[in-house]
Structure 1
């Protein structure tokens, strides 16, 4: 591979050298033509002068008509020949100049030459009109670049230094003091580069200014930097989550404490110290946008116009709104990382779930106060059930994206009961099959949805609630309802598949509502072929099996082209025996 790369580099170098030689040879050839023309013209002039000067040297002048005619004809032919040669050279030079103009303009860069006095020449590229917003010819470069009056003298001084043959600084060292960007009226990012033009003596003769529109490149770099900054922010948050939570809690506290201040309760130094501390804390987690807003707030509150507490309070209100908006954006941005239902309760420590349950069992074993045990289970061991569905939501979003479909964020309805997850782990794990079923069978492609009068993006809803159970008095069930607004389940399609798999089955006597429950049986699928997501007929049966293990129930309902609903009920208990 390395040998191939070296070979390609050699070929490229040889090609560039050949092109350079060809261009040089063509240029030298036309210079030679000019030299020949000048030599020929000189010979003709010398010949005519010799004929005129014959009497001066006491030689008989040309008096014979034939001789005179020969001289005139030869001179005329020579002049015509030289004119033709020079015409060809002129045509070639003109063509080359036009080609150069096209090439330079095609680069989209502004080129302009200026001298020691800063006066721009008459040769410039068309892009100057767009990038520098002026015709530079004949103008001073300080006016072209819109250099402020107070900086023009410095620019001219450095320009003078640059043209001095004995100055100690290099060209690059001096041009660092020249403007590197042009202030464009359309907020475009126009970079400025300077290149020297040296004469035959080796002395600097002119400068070439190259203006380049880097707006898109700069935007791409900014986007990449933002992504890198976001990745760094994530790493820092997960590395020190407790400090991060504490930082945002301090921001919230600041907003609350500064809400209803008046001139009597206002303590300006304390508020400014708090803002300054928050700015530094936010910067630690690479929350650069939030930190910059805090910096702007601090600058506004310390402004020269703030001369009294009344002025300070007048500025404090819009500043608080900026901080509140930044806090809301930050919470939204990191919600996918730490959960939408995250509660900010100060320092958090991680403990292995098995250790949490083991300690509860120890409390029971030593016959601790039942109320204390129950309180421990409800507050420490149990978790809000919506937290158990973060992976479901993420998987659904990823699967739908893989299939070039669209889905909106899940809408959670009902309550958010705390549950002991130990007994629910297998059920929660099996719900991946419902996620896959919705992605593959339920949500339609955007074009199909719009043709049916729906939004191009599908909608999934999940409801949680605790309901009374039919098992006995005082018993409760956890009810989980997962629904989508997609294709729904076609009972006719189900019957067609059942007719192939079980021609004499009891399904023949079932109504639509009951027959679609067959999708929960082992081996049944409405798919004609197996895909990476579904088609084997085991996924939904796996969900039904886990529900059955918990002595629960699952039911399917559907309306064709309106969506499908999966309703799961499992016993709800807040005791280890029930879990």
Structure 2
């Protein structure tokens, strides 16, 4: 991990520079401030070329602010030299870097307007409290003035203060928010609002804050480290607080949002932290409803655009679920195969915007990955319910669809040719084969076109740009029913290309490539074989990086004698992934294995070719099934 990656998530702009102000590191906030990407800044630009700072002259020397010791935050002006940068009124801190023997300095900039916005949020509450303070001051004066009637006056003022305190407590309680405090020892104080009992389901007094916020065992060490860092304040509180938990796991399905605010001593040292818990159940529910409506619209549009493919996919699901149910009888033994089926179902469901099925499939995979087999088996029933609900949603708009007949698209020329053969042919068997073939055949292009939506959706989530699939030979026809599972497995190929292969637009432009990635498919039907080639113009695969991952994943095997080509073919291996963490699109080591498995079921073969920096090519060869193959031979 890069030594400065800790600062990647900070909201303040962080620059690390050497004595000449050449930039050694920037986080995203600093990159945005410059109007340039990190790759164009690090090692290539000097900070003094980009900005002028109020009373801070360049070049740096031993008398410069923060040269030897960290400076406090000072308010100053930051003026961009070029039009691309942003000028602002900022708070600036300069600190020397003492690690690794390097002479480096941190420049941290905070936009003052952000802090003002945060302060403004509680302005009215502070004004109320100031009013009470003024009343107390008036009471003090009255006490001094009427010292002869001290006892009566104290009693009167005590009564007034009690009313004021009750009023203040009532005002805070009426907000419906939970307020509590905790100190550096992780202990909650005795000051809290009644809403804490409802929202956080506990009286927090004297309890550890990790217990009150229900921090899980696996996250406790990370949480406690965050608290230590928060009170040490190596960086501003406003930056560090965002690393804490922001949602409370309620047992009654409420959505409780958490915020953190500092309480400081007179010398500015952090003494306690205020936790504010807000019930956002209504907002979250409204957003979920909005997302559900959006998903429904997406699903309807995809059904209208590709009804035949959509219905065919829906019809294939019960058979797949039956197969999964059989395998789940010994889930531990069949774990890899179960993963393949469910991972493919998740990807295909996402392609057709069947998000309920997709989410249920992902949940089943999660239980399987955690080896909680009882919960996994229970989740399969939820998956079937998601399938039934999806059917009902579609049929509520379009009526019964599962019993409808597939439409076969024939050109006038094909109809004329068939009619001519009916009149003249004596080869009844050949004619019967041809009729069966025409009934089930579809253009290859039509059964792959829906993957464009998957590609665009994945690219958008990953911040990339990819053009529409370029298809060559797509007007040829195949019997789609014979290849349904094989075609479904291509969801993993396209997700792999977008996630691993295609670069982000900035990187592509720097490499002299167009901003949009390119994916091309070529189809060829010859003799008894269907050939499919999928190519991209992305970053390609690094055999050495794959070899290293293989050695880490399978330490008992020797990969030193494998050629680069043999190493590349290992991406189809079960449980292999080049990623360290599981994401929405990769990391489980299941997808490409599922592709290989479907090719093998058809008696075909698949291989991958790749050139680093130029792109990757997947080649598939599968035999044509009986009817189509016999027609080819008889022709």
Q: Per the shorter chain, which TM-score range? A: 0.3 to 0.5
Relative to the length of structure 1, the TM-score reads 0.43
Relative to the length of structure 2, the TM-score reads 0.39
Q: Which one has the bigger helix percentage?
A: 1
Q: Which one has the bigger strand percentage?
A: 2
